Every structure is written in C-alpha cells, then in structure tokens.
Chain A
Amino acid sequence: MKTTKKIDPSKRAERVSWMLVTPLACVLGFFLLLPILTIVTVSFWNFNEWSFFPDFILDNYVYHLTSAVTWATYLKTLKFMVLTWCFCAVIGFTVAYFLAFHVRSLPVQIALFLVCTIPFWTSNIIRMISWIPFLGRNGIANSSLISLGVIDEPLEWLLYSDFAVVLAFVHLYALFMVVPIFNTMMRIDKSLIEAARDAGASGLQILTNVIIPLAKPGIMIGSIFVVTLVMGDFITVRHMSGGQSASVGRIISNEIALLQYPAAAASSVVLLCTVLLMIGVMMRFVDIRKEL
C-alpha cells in the first residue's frame, strides 16, 4: 500500500497546509474572483435593446467617465458617505467609550452591548422604511412639533431629502462602528490609563493621547464598513430621497433594469476601483494587521 511509503515530515506539513488552504481558496475563487473577472470581461462587451454580446469596446467606460451625471452622482455619494461617516464615528465612539470605560461590570457591559444589537433583529429595509411615516408631512415628528407649538407649518425637509438619507444611513450603520471600536477598547490595558492619570494627564489628554490612538484599528475597521456600505447602497438613497437623489449604486441598478449589462458592469468596475482606492488610502493611516 502507498501509505507505507515514508514521507519527509516537512513535506508532509507543507502538504497539510496546502490542503487546509484549498477550501478557502476555492470558495474565494468561485464566489469572488470568478464573478469579478466576469464583470470585468462583460464591461468591454457591446449591447443593444435586448441582448449583449462579446466585443471589445471602451464605450462603456468612456461614456461612464465622461458623463456629467457620473461625476455629480459620485460627488453626491461621497457627500452622503462623509456625513454618514462623521456621525457614525462620533456616535460609535461615544457609545463604545461609555460601554468600555463607564460601565464597570462585565455582565452589564454584555447586556448593554446586546441591547445595541436589538434593532438588527429586523431587516434593514424595515428599519429604513419605518422612518417614512415618522418623518412625513403629516407624520409623527411633524404633528408632535406642531402640537408642542414649536413650528406652525410642517417641516418639508424631514422626508425625501438629503437629511432623511443621512439619518437613515446613520441609523442603519452606526452599530458597524460601535462593535469594532468597543472590541479594541476592551483590550486597552486599564493600567495604561491609570499610569497616564498618575503622570498628571487630564481627562482630555488621556482620551486624545491614550484611548484614541489605541482604538484606531477599531475606528478604521468600522470606517471601512461604513464607507463600503454607503458607497454601494442604492435602496436607502432611493427610498429616503423619494427617488430624487442619485447614488452610484442606483446608476448601476438602473442600467441593469434597462438591460444594459455591459454598461452596468463598467460602472461596477469603476465603483469597485474607487472603493478599493479609498480603503487603500485608509489603510495607509493605520496598519490594521500590525495593530490587531
């Protein structure tokens, strides 16, 4: 039998490593690389009203990159992204700080952390849609404000506006900030804070010189979540802006709806490159691998 043959232990270990890495490589290959390669290929194809066919044209990219709409839309999407990121970062950091440093007992910390995840028990579309009756012209927000005498006329900008879009984004994605920041904060050695205090640092100095630098990897992981989620979104923008705002994701979804698959593929490739570039820049600030 073959198994009787003696194998060099180091070779054996190498083989085992290859075998262990194979399932993940296959999964990533089939479900990530292959689809992306397909999208890149199709982005050079041509199309008509009802079909698309192999070709090598750059028109899809040329049109996408030279259209004023694309630039306006990217600008708008970036605006949503920056606003959402700012609010999520502030809220996420504050909540995580409270959980990690103000709450002393571990069971309470865990309980409060679980409370944060309760909204995730429903679908994010439901969480988003439920803002609509709340913010509407005759919605709860406006009618309460009117009955309190704060305003006389309903506030029109509450719904179907950029405000509504950012509000929904922050609501949907703040937890993606809380979790990684809380995680890194929990691993900050409490004696470091004591040492800083003993050395005469004020509360603010401890925050800026000790906690924020040590929580950076968490902030960065949260930021990557928020940035990629907002950049790729198409449904929140459509519903919360009442269809009046565009986002990059909506351009792609419109093109798919109109059977312009190669154009949609080209737009997707451009979006993918943009997001990768942004993440690349963010990685320059923090070496997540080193810090983890």
Chain B
Amino acid sequence: MTKQLDTKGISRRSILKGSAAAAGAAIGSGAVTGFPTIWAQNIKDVTLRQFGTGVSNINEVAAKVKEDLGFTLEMTALDSDSVTQRAATQPKSFDIADIEYWICKKVWGAGNLQAMDTSKIKNYDKIVGTFKSGKLTPESVIAQGTAPHTVGFTSGPEGTDFVQEESGWMTLIPTIYNADTLGIRPDLIGRPIDTWAELLNPEFKGKASILDISSIGIMDMAMVVEAMGEYKYPDKGNMTQEEIDMTLGIFTEAKKNGQFRAFWKSFDESVNLMASGEVVIQSMWSPAITAVRAKGIPCVYQPLKEGYRSWGGGLGLSKNLSGLELDAAYEYINWYLDGWVGGFLMRQGYYSAVPETSKNFMTEDEWGFWFEGKPAEGDIKNPFGDVMEKAGAVRDGGSFYDRMGSVACWNAVMDENRYMVRKWNEFIAA
C-alpha cells in the first residue's frame, strides 16, 4: 500500500494515458532494422523480467521488444531503494536489472549479477567514452564520485570485483544517463540563478527543497557547500566522517532556520512541489522539469557554473540467466543500443549510451534540439506527443558536450556509506 506512493505508479499511469497514439508515431519514425537475427520460433516463448527505477521502464519499450524481437519483456518500476534491495536480496525475482551505477557498486559484490561479454555487444565500440575510459573526449577530466567506468568492468565471467581497464567483461551495459542540476521557477524568482549556493540563500527561505535519497542528496549538498566557498572537498564522492559531519551540519542549520519547505523522495512529489509553487528552487530530475512545463508552468533546468551532478544507468543480467534466455537477453541489449530506445529516451531529455544510433530514430530538428543544443525549428514533442517546446527554444544547458562535458560529480556510494546514512537520518529527524 505504501510502496505505491513511492514508486512512479501515478505519474506513469497518467503518462500512459496519452501515449498510445504517440507511440505509433514514434515507432513510425524509424526503420525496422532486421531483428531478430539468430533464432527461430522458440524465442517467442521466452519471457524476460526486468525491473528498474521507472526512468527507462516504459511500457512502449516492452511493446516494441515484442514487435521487433518476438519475446516478452515484463517490466516493474520501483524506487531506488527498492531496486537496490531487490538486486541485492532477490536474485531469482528478475532476469534483467535496470540499475544505476552507484547501485551497482553496492550490489555487485552480492554476486547476483553476471558479467557480460563485450564481444557479444555489437555496438560496444560506439559506446561513449564516459562509460569506458571515463573520458567523454580525450581532454575530459574525470569527475568525482562513482564514475561509471570505475564500476563498469570486472575481471572475468565470474568476477565479483571491479577493474579499472576495459577488461572485456562489463558489469552493466550503459543505457541512459544525464546531467542533473537545480530546477527553478523563473517566474517566482525573477532574477538569474547561476550557482548551487543559491539553494541555501535565505532569500528562498521556506521555498527550497532537496531530495531525501541519501546517496544523491549528499552530492547535491556537497555541490552547494563547495559553491558557498565553505570547503573544497578532495573527493566529494568519498567523504571522510569529518566532511560528512561538516556538510550535514551546514544543512541541519539551514533546516532549523526554516530554509526547506519539504524533502521529496519520489519524482511525483518533486513535480507537485514545483508546480504548486510550494518550492521555487530544488534538486530535480530532467523529466520532472518536463512534467512541470507540460502543465504550462515555467520551470528551468538551470545550468550552474560549478557544473552538473551526473548519473548513469545500465542493464545488468541476473546470475540465473542461461541458455536461450541468456541469448535473448544479449539480443535485447543489442537491440537497446541499436537506437530506437535511445531516440525514445532522448526525446525525454536523457542521453543514450550510443548517441549516433539514436540519430537514425530522431528527426533532424529533434537531434538538433536535444543533442546539439540548437534552437528548435518547429514544435518539439515528447515521445508521448505532447508539445514541450515551441519553435526557437533552446535546451537548458545547451549541447550534449556542453552538458556532459561539465559534470562535476557522479552519484556515489562512499566508503563511509553507513556512517553517512546514519548522519543523513539525523539530518531528516533534526
């Protein structure tokens, strides 16, 4: 009963209402590329059970899998905590885990997932550098936190460790990722915002919010503390106990002074807080911004000078997969990277791990708007057919390279995670 509130159930349902017609249009935009390749009839009997955080657990994807590949994909959307729990404790309940890299760092050691042979991944060479060497472009600086490439490879088929080079055995196949920042209500703020420090600006007393998911929230806090000039972390993604105390101390004081209106835990809550005007500045996720704008309420995903807090997700295979089902899972992953899903997700504001294949499934204008940061030439619609931007609009933060090139840190799990979680609970209870 209570889980229902925390998952994405409500919003997904409303999204799905308007989606049937739109899905048709979206499917029509790309040519079918000759799947399935390997087998005959028995593939139709395969059912793969996937669970994940809702961002990519979209029923259109399952429908398209059935159409292109012939087998059935069952999807379950849960919140981050439940996803972690299930990946760690119920290996028999899923075949494919759609999890974030920081969750992977937490659960890989439990041995419930199996490494993937990169030689079976057709588009492996085209996966962006962020997930392989950690560098988007050869000049990129690797951001702090649990950068995907640091937990992206293991030593071999049976590995439960992480290795720092491209070993040929991947823990997760990267699927989507994005650069997160603060969301603001420009109409209620009425002046430019350009730094993370504004979250604790007394001007927004009682009108700010931060998310109550410790591994992500602590990183947002670290960005704010650094932006305020209070402290420069040697590594935000791996704080010492003193650094954790100091960071949460600053926020506890702000909380006691009434800086925060609320803390949110699920996507829907962040949308409601922003749309109702309870909050004018808060940590936010990209599709939540889209959802607020879809209500006709101005909301900006504000690029900030200190950079973005980034996250990435990927697909992991359950230890229990073998034989035909394992083949089907590889086929699914290859299909996932082949572009249709990428195009679908990029039209929601995410990025695909293999952007160049997604291009084939997007219009010139969509590609220009979402990926290249060019002004839209016509109306930009989301995958569900709602108009999101009028002609002339430019994406907040600009192009892929502008946004993913200014990542300051990744969502992280720290060595002092247990300590941090306890301190986080104290902060919430303070």
Contact = CB atoms under 8 A, between A and B. Distances in A.
Given A254-B425, A257-B85, A243 B2 contact: no
Contacts of B85: 256-257, 259
A238 to B, nearest CB: 8
B158 interface: no
B109 A160 contact: no
Contacts of A238: 265
Given A136-B278, A137-B278, A242-B262, A235 B425 contact: no
B276 A50 contact: no
A242 B84 contact: no
Interface string A220-250: 0000000000000011001101111110001
Interface in A62-92: 67-69, 72-73, 76
Contacts of A69: 425-426, 429
A183 to B, nearest CB: 28
A265 B277 CA distance: 39
Contacts of A256: 85
A242 B263 contact: yes
A138 B277 contact: yes
Nearest to B87: A50
B89 A259 contact: yes
B276 to A, nearest CB: 5
A51 interface: yes
Given A73-B429, A160-B261, A259 B276 contact: no
Contacts of B4: 125
Contact of B81 (A139, A239, A250, A257): A257
Interface in B404-430: 417-418, 421-422, 425-426, 428-430
A49 interface: yes
A235 B1 CA distance: 10
A250 B424 CA distance: 13
B110 A51 contact: yes
Nearest to B417: A49
Given A137-B278, A257-B81, A243 B428 contact: yes
Interface string B57-86: 000000000000000000000000110110
A137 B276 contact: yes
User: DSSP class of B's interface residues: helix, strand, loop or mixed?
Assistant: helix
Interface string B32-64: 000000000000000000000000000000000
A110 interface: no
Nearest to B272: A132
Nearest to B255: A244
A133 interface: yes
B110 A125 contact: no
B278 A50 contact: no
Nearest to A123: B1
Contacts of B417: 49
Contacts of A76: 429
B1 A125 contact: yes
Q: Which size bracket describes the interface of A in this complex?
A: 35 or more
Interface in A146-202: 156, 159-160
Interface string B1-31: 1101100000000000000000000000000
Interface string B110-149: 1000000000000000000000000000000000000000
A138 B276 contact: yes
Given A156-B206, A242-B261, A133 B84 contact: no
Contact of B263 (A51, A244, A257): A244
- Among the interface residues A69, A76, A139, A244, which one has the most CB atoms of the partner chain B within 10 A? A244
B356 interface: no
B106 interface: yes
Given A136-B278, A137-B276, A259-B89, A243 B429 contact: no
B321 interface: no
Contacts of B107: 49-50
A72 B256 CA distance: 14
Contact of A246 (B265, B272, B422, B428): B428
A243 B110 contact: no
Nearest to A52: B89
A73 B265 CA distance: 20
Contact of A234 (B2, B264, B278, B426): B2
A258 interface: yes
A136 B276 contact: yes
A251 interface: yes
Given A50-B107, A138-B276, A235-B2, A160 B89 contact: no
B88 interface: yes
Given A244-B262, A254-B425, A259 B88 contact: yes
A256 B264 CA distance: 18
B263 A50 contact: no
Contacts of A132: 272
A182 B322 CA distance: 63
B389 interface: no
Contacts of A235: 2, 5
A235 B425 CA distance: 16
Contacts of B81: 257-258
A268 to B, nearest CB: 15
Given A125-B5, A257-B81, A72 B429 contact: yes
A246 B110 contact: no
A139 B260 CA distance: 18
Given A125-B5, A156-B206, A258-B81, A50 B425 contact: no
Given A50-B89, A160-B278, A259-B85, 8 more contacts: A50-B109, A160-B261, A238-B265, A242-B261, A243-B263, A243-B428, A251-B425, A254-B428
6 contacts: A50-B89, A139-B276, A244-B260, A246-B429, A250-B428, A254-B428
Interface of A: 49-51, 67-69, 72-73, 76, 123, 125, 132-133, 136-139, 156, 159-160, 234-235, 238-239, 241-246, 250-251, 253-254, 256-259
Closest 9 A-B residue pairs measured CB to CB?
A242-B262, A243-B263, A246-B429, A257-B81, A50-B88, A50-B110, A69-B426, A69-B429, A160-B262
